[in-house]
Amino acid sequence: MNDTGNNSVALVVIGEEAQGQRLDNYLLRHCKGVPKSHVYRILRSGEVRVNSRRVDATYRLEIGDRVRIPPIRIAERPQDEVEEAAKARVDLPIIFEDEAMLVIDKPEGIAVHGGSGVSFGVIEALRRQRPQAKFLELAHRLDRETSGILLVGKKRLALTALHDMFREHGAGADKRYLMLVKGRWMNNTQHVKAPLLKYLTDSGERRVSVNAEGKAAHTVFRLLARWPEMSLLEAQLKTGRTHQIRVHLAHLGFPILGDEKYGDFNLNKRLRPAGLKRMALHAWRMAFRHPLLGTPVECVAPLPDGIRQYMTTVEAQTPREFSADNLQQILEHQ
């Protein structure tokens, strides 16, 4: 698809990696740098053809389809800028990999994909580092500030199965997160069912709030450790709403330490000098069925050093009030 940006017509034969994908989504991925509106304009005008005939944007591609793509001028970024962006994100620890998928322990501070002011993300870095890979697509998302387990599909059928799994709202995948929160959390286990509504701030930034008009959201929190002014929790997602854990905790009055969107901003200013230089939220464990084989898969991403070291600092200053029976087992996962 390297010819897309030339001044000539490109004729692409569809392989297994694009089988079943909608035509518009295929073009949006492969015509990087082209405005979305322009892609849909050439679709509506009939300039894009499949097997020499006009088709709708929702057409599902099949192996062997011949897609005609008209000349498109793409505003490309300088090559050295692309390479530097990739080099800055080479440290992507692989937890699990086979022919169908791979699982990454995503570092905090890196977006999962480019967009919204971020030119390069995990998926772009992976594609850059693996130029021979025919197919690499995100199976789900993590916030830029969140570290931990991230699934990537290497085959179209695997990606579709993973998407279906995540749509089952907890029935298909057991997703667990670890977080440090402000305050003394008292309940050993607490189910939080509070609907969440997306909205935009005056500056155009996406936010979420608890609102009766929002979508149903369910999180199960478990207490792992407690200090006089801080608690370590595990969260199990039963639904997968945007910013779900962060908003549920802020709503309850236990914001995640270092959360710049929903946290205690005055407290956050004091955390950096004290040693916590990130949001203390980490996707630590995921158990699910393999998307193609159906066999059980369990992936664990150890608690990052930045969070672990801050806990050690607090522990040295104030005594721990509570420890769950499985605390050491979780912390010793490496």
143 belongs to the catalytic site: yes
Using alpha carbons only, what angle is made at residue 182 by residues 178 and 183, rounded to the nearest 5 degrees?
115
- With contact defined as beta carbons under 8 Å apart, do 179 and 249 qualify? yes
Alpha-carbon span 9 to 330, nearest angstrom: 56
Take residue 155 and report the two structure tokens written for it.
């085959």
CA-nearest of 169, 154, 312, 311 to 237 is 169
Structure tokens at 80: 């050295």
- Which is catalytic among the residues 65, 143, 259, 264? 143
- The answer to whether 149 and 283 have CB atoms below 8 angstroms apart is yes
CB contact at 8 A, 259 and 144: no
Token pair 């609102």 in the structure block, residue:
211
Token pair in block for residue 102: 């791979």
Distance of CA 5 to the CA centre of its chain: 29
Residues marked as catalytic: 143
